[in-house]
Amino acid sequence: MPASELVVGVQCGGSDAFSGVTANPAVGFATDLLVRAGATVMFSENTEVRDAVDQLTARAATPEVAQAIVRELAWYDAYLARGQADRSANTTPGNKAGGLSNIVEKAMGSIVKSGSTPIAHVLSPGEKLKREQRGLVFAATPASDFICGTLQLAAGMNLHVFTTGRGTPYGLAECPVIKVATRSDLARRWHDLMDLNAGRVADGEATIEEAGWELFRLMLDVASGRRKTWAEQWKLHNALVLFNPAPVT
Residue range 171-184, pLDDT digits in tens: 999 999 999 999 99
Q: Mind listing the pLDDT tens digit for each residue in 48-97? A: 898 889 999 999 999 999 999 999 999 999 998 888 887 766 666 766 67
pTM over 0.85: yes
Q: Is residue 141 part of a domain?
A: no
Give CA angle at 249 (127, 44), nearest 5°.
40
- Rounded CA-CA distance 120/197 in Å is 30
- Rounded CA-CA distance 104/212 in Å is 24
- Rounded CA-CA distance 229/176 in Å is 7
- Rounded CA-CA distance 41/45 in Å is 14
Q: Which amino acid is at 174?
A: E
100 or 24, which is more confident: 24
Q: Mind listing the pLDDT tens digit for each residue in 219-234? A: 999 999 999 999 999 9
Q: Is the pLDDT assigned to residue 196 strictly greater than 70? A: yes
| pLDDT score for 96 | 67
Q: Is residue 247 part of a domain?
A: no
- Rounded CA-CA distance 214/207 in Å is 11
Residues in the chain, total: 249
Total domains, the chain: 1
Q: Is residue 65 part of a domain?
A: yes
Local confidence band at 102 (pLDDT 50, 70, 90 cut-offs): low
Q: Is residue 9 part of a domain?
A: yes
- Rounded CA-CA distance 21/114 in Å is 14
**Which of 27-31, 40-44, 84-88, 141-145 is the least confident region?**
84-88
Q: Is residue 238 part of a domain?
A: no
Q: Is residue 157 part of a domain?
A: no
| pLDDT score for 100 | 64
Q: Which domain holds residue 41?
A: 3-133+170-233
